[in-house]
A and B are shown apart, each in its own frame.
Chain A
Amino acid sequence: MLALLRKDLQVELRTKETLASLLLLGLLTLVVLSFAFDPTSELRAEAAPGALWVAVIFAGALGLNRSFLAEGENDCLQGLLLCPVDRGTIYLAKTAGNFVFMMIAQLVIVPIFIFFFNLPLSLGLGGVFLSLALGVLGFAAVGTLFAAISVRTRAREVMLPLLLLPLVVPIFIGGVTVTGRVLAGKPLADVAPWLNLMVGFDLIFLVVGWLVFEYAVEE
């Protein structure tokens, strides 16, 4: 699994395609959403967590397509499937790769988010990143499975967001709530049920993906 993950990371480091698309999409979403709110309004601070998560989810939904697109070229997926490893392992490696890419993108997007929405720097960044990590993990768990499916349908660009967005609603609501609370200066203990829910979501869908991935890549 680590070898597969290293392969994906190496390919990414050479081309930087996924990272660039994730970053630019996230950035663009933040900018577009900034136009949606009056810059002088009080509402702006309240809408901030939502804006961050919309950026994460939309960039992710569009960006995850890439993770299997590259494998489609030169029949790389065939080669991967011929590896003497369990299909579930391939899934976990792919999910880990997507998780890493999305988190690296967050490292850039969050500072820009703070900058655009004029938030004080002293706020609990640890909490924000914790919620992002939990959310992105669940998102990658479902997204990687569906990306493997949608990449082989005709309308893959549309198909992935269409399938993925309704299913990640719990992640989205949880993420927005946790981020909002943390930015409002509340302790993490306040949102413990939400964190539990997100951890539960992550674990359930990692296991489901691990079990089911085999059917998604079978010829």
Chain B
Amino acid sequence: MRRLDTSLAAANLVVMLAAIYAVFVYVPTDKFQGIVQRIFYFHVPLAIMTFVAFGTVAVASALFLWRGGRGWDRLAHSSAEVGMLFCTLVLITGPIWAKPIWGTWWTWDARLTTTLILWLIYAGYLMLRSISGPGDQGARYAAIVGVVGAIDIPIINRSVYWWRTIHPAVLITREGGSGLGDPRMRLTLEICFLAFLLLFVWLVRIRNQSVHLRDRLEDMRRQVLAH
């Protein structure tokens, strides 16, 4: 276990450094958008990993309700925390890019709105977790919210999409226009994907272990108090 974590961390460090090098030095600057386009290489992998994280929460929550087992609950908890971190970064990197390109920090575009609501759902989820504390009841409650939230996300996406197509949007198209014409751009994006995938797995594992330790501590304390 220990050794796996160490090698994971080491691999992550190497790939992350490579990703930073690729983004800042290796990849050519986008012809139309200029230097700010480079944030895209962090923004998109982060966004994809956010979906992976919240997807993991949904699956682990459903399995926890169905099969039981603290392991699923811990996985859901740690994925939600890491997903929240990534989602926050997506919401920060997005506007930094949008201001010079769209001329505004924020527009109520379908994708932006869905991401924001995702953030709010999982903020509530984590809030519920911290309020109900450790224990089976809190875990079950969180799992219910995890499952219901995941089922709701496609419906939310649909509704905000219609909402925006009915109202005139400031700018509807995203990313599509410029594309990744240069093969170096694609390679950079792939390195960044790998970097954030490794970061995600590593962070979830670490969080998982610390939650596990906390649970064990809680169990021991209860045993001591019972005596």
Instruction: Give A residues with C-beta under 8 Å from B.
Output: 142, 145-146, 149-150, 152-155, 159, 162-163, 165-167, 169-170, 173-174, 177, 193-194, 197, 200-201, 204-205, 208, 212, 215-216, 218-219
Contacts and interface: CB of A to CB of B under 8 A. Distances in A.
A146 B124 CA distance: 12
Given A163-B145, A166-B120, A153 B151 contact: no
B18 interface: no
A177 B163 CA distance: 8
Contacts of A165: 120
B155 A204 contact: yes
5 contacts: A146-B148, A159-B124, A162-B128, A167-B148, A215-B143
Given A197-B155, A212-B144, A154 B131 contact: yes
A162 B159 contact: no
B156 A163 contact: no
Given A153-B128, A174-B159, A197-B158, A167 B166 contact: no
B91 interface: no
A149 B162 CA distance: 31
Interface of B: 65, 117, 120-121, 123-125, 127-128, 131-132, 137, 140-141, 143-145, 147-149, 151-152, 155-156, 158-160, 162-163, 166
Contacts of A169: 117, 156, 159-160
A215 B124 CA distance: 19
Contacts of B65: 212, 215
A145 B152 CA distance: 14
A149 B159 contact: no
Contact of B140 (A146, A174, A197, A215): A215
B124 A153 contact: no
B117 to A, nearest CB: 5
Given A153-B141, A173-B163, A200-B155, 14 more contacts: A146-B148, A149-B144, A149-B145, A152-B137, A155-B131, A159-B131, A162-B128, A166-B120, A170-B159, A174-B159, A197-B162, A208-B148, A212-B147, A219-B137
A173 B144 CA distance: 24
A149 B140 CA distance: 9
B144 A197 contact: no
Contacts of A212: 65, 144, 147-148
- Shortest beta-carbon contacts, A-B, top 8: A170-B159, A166-B120, A162-B124, A163-B124, A166-B121, A149-B141, A173-B159, A170-B155
Given A215-B65, A216-B140, A167 B127 contact: no
Contacts of B137: 152, 218-219
Contacts of A145: 144, 148
B32 to A, nearest CB: 33
B128 A163 contact: yes
B39 to A, nearest CB: 27
A153 B166 CA distance: 40
Contacts of B127: 159, 162
B155 A159 contact: no
A34 B188 CA distance: 53
A201 B151 CA distance: 10
Contacts of B152: 167, 170, 205
Nearest to B143: A215
Contact of B147 (A163, A174, A208): A208
Given A166-B120, A167-B121, A170-B155, A205 B160 contact: no
